[in-house]
Chain A
Amino acid sequence: MQYSNPQPAEGINTSGAHPLKEFAILAGGLLLMAVLLILLLGWFADRLVQYIPFEAETQLAASFADIAGSEQEPVQPYLQQLAERAGKATGLPGNIHLHIHFVREPTVNAMATLGGHIIVYEGLLRHLSSEDAIVMLLAHEVAHIHHRHPIRAMGRGFTLAMAISLINTGTGISLAGDMVGQAGLMTVLHFSRQQEQEADREALQALAVNYGHIAGAVELFDVLAREDDPLLHHEWLSSHPLTGNRIQQLRQYAETAGWPVQGMLTSIPLPVQQALQ
């Protein structure tokens, strides 16, 4: 018997495809599918919100009711009154009750959450020198509540979490879920930006109805522009539109609606001013 040892040809047992190309196709396909899935689920979640009565939201938010720093004279009643006035100006339905919480912390922020709760930090109020600016701020948060943005965001958050856990358990790969999570976060932020624009416009309306001009909005955004986080200066990375873009959009909106941008600012009542110092 003759034995020989010929060298077999290369590339029989391995594929010649470039791994980077394969990766791009697979990862792109997965991300595309995930984004479509999340958009679809988010859309459904958004549709379903109108069937959740506001009363149910109030129950969900029962735990927020005892937020520290509530009911502080004279700031809290003043804010409550301004918020209710803003709500009236923009047609807030009667069954939605607003609860303003004033928190003595240096944070420059304010937020709206489930059940009509609005949290305003002292840090932001200290920067505002006119009632107009405070009304703009409150009306913006009231508009979020009017359009049920907090519960919409929660619904989308839930669908996103569900999609991630579905993909994780379905495929047994946490990595795929992580990638979907990243893609999902981008779309959630995008929804949030649309909501911010909606709230800005409605707040502007409240301002114009109450004062006849929108000078308060300019003051508020000047303050926000100074406090902007330089790290978040890419619009697609942040939940809010960049302040510069926001001001420009508001000016355009005010122009089309015929509201003057300049006007006499109303001052904050003296007891409130003293309480904030």
Chain B
Amino acid sequence: MLDLLVFLTLLLLGYGFGHYNEQRHYRSIMQREHAMQELIMVSSRELPPLPGTDNQLVCGSVVVSVDYFKRTLAALRNLFGGRMSAYETLLERARREARLRMAEQAQGMGARMICNIKLETSSLYKGRQQSIGSVEVLAYGTALIPRR
């Protein structure tokens, strides 16, 4: 009985904090993406032939974990199969946050554009019985910085 209570409490706490954090993070991502629209970001490998620019590597990485509720939800989803919605938001937030951090670094250098953007994902923690807990997303690209 006690086990069940602990489980339900963790589930409830996980849902409450997880949901609140996710909403807050999404708001912040959207707001910052909007502010960052001036900086052109593309994934093409060809650098535009702009004279008088320096090229430099920029990167941003994010390590993020799901809450207990979503981990439970994902465990249940593992049984039945189907769209793993519990992890979809986690990965989307991680990708967008990593891209934003990379962009912030580039902006700090005075860059106008980032080319050849790549994203890499790795699961950091496989935990007990291979249940994935946290994920790292790394975004990197070539920043084009006008020479002064």
Show the binding face of A for B, using Cβ within 8 Å: 1, 3-5, 7, 10, 13-15, 17, 19-20, 22-23, 26-27, 29-30, 171-176, 178-179, 182, 237
Q: How many A-B residue pairs have CB under 8 A?
A: 76
| B residues near A22, Cβ cutoff 8 Å | 73, 77, 85-86
The answer to whether B85 touches A5, judged by C-beta atoms less than 8 angstroms apart, is no
Once the chains bind, are B80 and A26 in contact (CB under 8 Å)? yes
Interchain CA distance A19-B85 in the complex, whole Å: 8
Given A23-B73, A173-B78, A178-B3, A7 and B37 contact (CB-CB distance below 8 Å): yes
Picked from B33, B42, B88, B129, the residue with its CB within 8 Å of the CB of A173 is B129
Please determine whether B3 and A182 come into contact, CB atoms closer than 8 angstroms: yes
Task: State whether A7 touches B33 (Cβ < 8 A).
Answer: yes
Task: Name A's interface SS.
Answer: helix
Size of B's binding interface in residues, CB under 8 A: 38
Annotate B30-54 by CB proximity to A: 1 below 8 A, 0 otherwise: 1001100111111000001000000
| Contact among B3, B40, B88, B130 for A15, CB-based, below 8 A | B88
Which residues of B58-106 have CB atoms within 8 Å of chain A's CB atoms? 69-70, 72-73, 75-80, 83, 85-86, 88-89, 91-92
A selection of 6 A-B contacts at a CB cut-off of 8 Å is A3-B40, A13-B92, A19-B19, A23-B72, A179-B7, A182-B4
Could you say which residues of chain B place their CB within 8 Å of the CB of A13? 88, 91-92
Tell me whether A173 and B83 are in contact (CB under 8 A): no
Kindly report which residue of chain B lies nearest to residue A20, judged by CB atoms: B15
